[in-house]
């Protein structure tokens, strides 16, 4: 992948919204990229801004923000505030910064082109499959809908064949007879696989899967993981897998971005980050998952211990000063409480947001 241009390059992205409790800084100065054919895992605890980042990339963030308590006047005031900031720039769809996708900035793309990009070039598999499928229409109709919207002249026979091809690809049993049924006739795992088929049917360049295995039992999770692995290996597509489960990310991702309080704390090669995490938050996160600790033990790491991170993630309306992780970090010093750390490139394509990275690496935690 070296020498290639990124498929997606997100720079200095901010996505805030207004609630009765104050401004929610859901995505705060986020930068990262995804290369063609690459699978990037976005990992972090619930409520850290992962889903907001996905919606911001899709330019759908303002639709979520509309559900917050803020009025349109409050939104306009927030946009004026963001635009007046030093690192400002126009705010569109509640998002500031740039999202370069295949050489075009999605934040400045005309609305009709944006609709085309969303329908054909980037697919989002949303969280919560029961709400994502419409109970009033058959699964076959919903799976074929993205194609019918793109090709208004498509013949019914061709559309049916394509729908069945994709339902078979994601292992829906008896798809040929069941595709006329409504979503209520399918299990949770089948519904999630149908959403994957819908996301792939138009041949997108990028698929974003938001918590693809959450709220499913272990057997069904395994089926979804197998389908995603198949997509990764057999489709010419980039993936952004969003999860709070490090085991899911470890199995699929080539690179990992760890998110905390709306920011990316560390971004780098998946193998390195799972075996030698550099940021104190990543270290704590990895040590919270038995599967990751086992993986580290198998790789010969000394005395890995299973332990959680003390405290709770911050309220995004009241993010701590300086390094947002400082109230939970055992290495925090005065500087951490006062100054937001810069991103430092600590290795090839490996970034860490921590004042004390070098010191902790040389002295050991
Ligand atoms: Fe911990 Fe300070 Fe590094 Fe933040 S900057 S992770 S508080 S050592």
What is the position in ligand 1's atom list of the atom closest to the CA of 329? 1
Say what the pLDDT of residue 286 is.
Answer: 86
Q: Is the CB of 133 under 6 A from ligand 1?
A: no
Say what the pLDDT of residue 54 is.
Answer: 95
Whole-angstrom distance, CA of residue 352 vs CA of residue 365 = 16
Options 3.40.50.300, 3.30.565.10, 3.40.1170.20, 3.40.50.10490; CATH for 130-241 is 3.40.50.300
Of 108, 87, 74, 91, residue with least CA distance to 15: 91
Q: Is the CB of 280 under 6 A from ligand 1?
A: yes
Of 10, 38, 9, 49, residue with least CA distance to 252: 38
Say what the pLDDT of residue 2 is.
Answer: 45
In the beta sheet, which residues pair with residue 85? Answer: none
Cβ density class 123-154: b for 16+ within 10 Å, e for less: bbbbbebeebbeeeebbbbbbbbbbeeeeeee
From the DSSP assignment, how many helices (H) and strands (E) are in the chain? 16, 13
Q: What is the residue extent of each domain of the chain? A: 130-241
Say what the pLDDT of residue 84 is.
Answer: 76
Residues 59, 93 contacting (CB under 8 angstroms): yes
Q: Is the CB of 255 under 6 A from ligand 1?
A: no
Q: Output DSSP code: residue 6.
A: P
**Orientation angle between helical segments 218-234 and 188-200, nearest 10 degrees:** 10
Ligand 1 center–CA 332 separation, angstroms = 5
Residues 6+ apart with CB under 8 A from 71: 18
Ligand 1 center–CA 304 separation, angstroms = 21
Two tokens, residue 129: 């499959």
Ligand 1 center–CA 336 separation, angstroms = 6
Whole-angstrom distance, CA of residue 80 vs CA of residue 89 = 10
Q: Is the CB of 260 under 6 A from ligand 1?
A: no
Strands, E, within 59-163: which ranges? 91-92, 95-101, 104-105, 122-125
- By most ligand atoms within 8 Å of CB, the mutation choice from 277, 285, 329, 338 for ligand 1 is 329
Question: What are φ and ψ of residue 263, in 5° steps?
Answer: -120, 160
Q: Is the CB of 285 under 6 A from ligand 1?
A: no
Of 229, 245, 225, residue with least CA distance to 237: 229
Cβ density class 320-330: b for 16+ within 10 Å, e for less: bebbbbbbbbe
What is the position in ligand 1's atom list of the atom closest to the CA of 335? 2
Of 171, 183, 173, 241, residue with least CA distance to 213: 241
Of 206, 188, 69, residue with least CA distance to 131: 188
pLDDT in tens, the chain (365 residues): 545 899 999 999 999 988 888 889 999 999 999 999 999 999 999 889 999 999 999 999 887 766 655 566 777 777 777 777 766 677 877 888 999 999 999 999 999 999 899 879 999 988 775 567 888 999 999 999 888 888 878 788 899 999 999 999 999 999 999 999 999 999 888 988 999 999 999 999 999 999 988 777 888 888 889 989 999 998 999 999 999 998 899 999 999 999 999 999 999 999 999 888 999 999 988 887 666 666 666 666 655 555 678 888 999 999 999 999 999 999 999 999 999 999 999 998 899 999 999 999 886 55
Ligand 1 center–CA 323 separation, angstroms = 6
Say what the pLDDT of residue 22 is.
Answer: 85
Q: Is the CB of 323 under 6 A from ligand 1?
A: yes
What is the position in ligand 1's atom list of the atom closest to the CA of 333? 2
Say what the pLDDT of residue 21 is.
Answer: 84
Two tokens, residue 309: 């991170």
Q: Is 255 helix (H, G, I), strand (E, B) or coil?
A: strand
Say what the pLDDT of residue 288 is.
Answer: 78
Say what the pLDDT of residue 101 is.
Answer: 97
Ligand 1 center–CA 300 separation, angstroms = 27
Say what the pLDDT of residue 303 is.
Answer: 54
């Amino acid at each position: 992948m070296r020498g290639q241009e990124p498929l997606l390059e997100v720079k200095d992205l901010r996505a805030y919204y207004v609630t009765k409790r104050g401004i929610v800084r859901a995505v705060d100065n986020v930068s990262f990229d995804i290369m063609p054919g690459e699978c990037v895992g976005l990992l972090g605890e619930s409520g850290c801004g992962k889903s907001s980042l996905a919606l911001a990339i899709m330019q759908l963030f303002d639709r979520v923000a509309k559900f917050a308590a803020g009025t349109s006047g409050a939104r306009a005031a927030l946009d004026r505030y963001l635009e007046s900031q030093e690192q400002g720039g126009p705010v569109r769809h509640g998002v500031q910064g740039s999202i370069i996708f295949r050489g075009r900035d999605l934040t400045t793309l005309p609305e009709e082109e944006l609709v085309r990009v969303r329908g054909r070039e980037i697919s989002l598999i949303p969280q919560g499959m029961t709400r994502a499928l419409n109970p009033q229409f058959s699964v076959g109709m919903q799976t074929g809908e993205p194609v019918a919207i793109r090709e208004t002249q498509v013949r019914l026979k061709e559309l049916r064949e394509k729908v069945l091809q994709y339902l078979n690809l994601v292992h829906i049993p008896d798809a040929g007879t069941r595709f006329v049924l409504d979503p209520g006739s399918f299990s949770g795992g089948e519904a999630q696989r149908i959403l994957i088929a819908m996301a792939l049917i138009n041949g997108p360049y990028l698929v974003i899967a938001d918590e693809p295995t959450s709220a499913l039992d272990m057997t069904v999770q395994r089926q979804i993981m197998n389908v995603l692995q198949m997509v990764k290996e057999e489709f010419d597509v980039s993936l952004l897998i969003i999860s709070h489960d490090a085991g899911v990310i470890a199995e699929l991702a080539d690179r990992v971005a760890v998110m905390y309080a709306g920011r990316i704390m560390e971004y780098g090669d998946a193998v390195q980050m799972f075996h030698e995490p550099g940021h104190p938050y990543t270290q704590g996160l990895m040590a919270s998952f038995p599967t990751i600790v086992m993986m580290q033990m198998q790789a010969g790491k000394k005395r890995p211990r299973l332990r959680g991170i003390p405290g709770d993630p911050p309220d995004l309306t009241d993010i701590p000063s300086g390094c947002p992780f400082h109230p939970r970090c055992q290495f925090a010093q005065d500087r951490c409480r006062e100054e937001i750390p810069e991103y430092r490139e600590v290795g090839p394509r490996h970034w860490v947001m921590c004042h004390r990275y070098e010191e902790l690496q040389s002295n050991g935690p």
